[in-house]
Amino acid sequence: MKWNAELYDEKHAFVFKYGENLLELLDAKPGEHILDLGCGTGYLTQQIHELGAKVKGTDSSPEMIRQARVNYPDVDFAVEDATSFTTKEQYDAVFSNAVLHWIKNTDAMMDSVYKSLKPRGRFVAEMGGKGNVQKLIEATKQVLRNHGYAKQAETQVWYFPSVAEYATKLEAHGFRVTFAAHFDRKTPLQDGDQGVSKWIMMFAPLYLAGVPEELKKQMLAEVTALLEPHYNEGGQWYADYKRLRFVAVKEI
């Protein structure tokens, strides 16, 4: 999936803004060697850098890394795949915000993270949890099926696990889960009734692969209409986010 890094910064900054208090959980110390896994355009990487840590931001998207380097030229960024990266110098911590639900091969990712950490190193992350944007997914699939796009309706864009499911995977890879929480966080969408369409086109264009442009607009309007009773609160639209946040420590 190719990302529009400028649009991401301009219209979807909530992704990294909501991650700011995750930094409290990371509790980065000056001099620590930290990896920001899936750093996007680098906002939180820069925040870690300002705390005095030696931080590296990585992302699989060249577009995101290109923008990150423009935004924060004093920070180390690289294009790397979360499922296959290696490092010579091990990290004190791996940090990740709003990324892990994009990674289907969780076993390879967790193996890479485990190997990259020092003994007792910590893996601190937030991702979409079970039920995240469930109303939006259901509405989108309903409209796709109504228009005969059954194949697209079966597309699995993300992996949104429960606490128990993800903790079990982490433990199987040698981590000890010291903290985990699953919570609701309704998230404001910009641009009123256009917010749903823009969210889908930014984060879930795979659902509409192969749909002609004019029909795409009509279908997005139908999805918006289905969601309005749930998302529109006095003119401000909110998406039904559910987040999974955890800290896992590498066992020796």
pLDDT of residue 97: 95
Percent of the chain with pLDDT over 70: 92
For the chain, the 3-state helix, strand and coil shares in percent, each to the nearest 5, are: 45, 25, 30
The 8-class DSSP code of residue 89 comes to S
Structurally, how many domains does the chain consist of?
1
Main-chain phi, psi angles of 235, to 5 degrees = 100, -20
Instruction: State whether residue 96 is helix, strand or coil.
Output: strand
CA–CA separation, 164 and 156 (whole Å): 21
DSSP characters for 192-241? GGGHHHHHHHHH-GGGGTT--HHHHHHHHHHHHHHHHHHHEETTEEEE--
pLDDT average, residue stretch 20-25: 88
CA–CA separation, 2 and 137 (whole Å): 21
* Average pLDDT of the residues of the chain: 93
pLDDT of residue 19: 61
The yes-or-no verdict on residue 13 having pLDDT over 60 is no
pLDDT in tens, 147-199: 999 999 999 999 999 999 999 999 999 999 999 999 999 999 988 899 999 99
pLDDT in tens, 43-100: 999 999 999 999 999 999 999 999 999 999 999 999 999 999 999 889 999 999 999 9
Tokens 């893996």, located at residue: 123
Radius of gyration of the chain (CA): 19
pLDDT of residue 18: 64
CA–CA separation, 134 and 195 (whole Å): 16
Q: Are 97 and 126 in contact (CB under 8 A)?
A: yes
The yes-or-no verdict on residue 14 having pLDDT over 60 is no
Q: Containing domain of residue 185, as a range?
A: 5-250
CATH classification at residue 21? 3.40.50.150
Look up the pTM and report it.
Answer: 0.90
| Residue 21 banded pLDDT, cuts 50, 70, 90 | confident
pLDDT of residue 89: 86
The yes-or-no verdict on residue 211 having pLDDT over 80 is yes
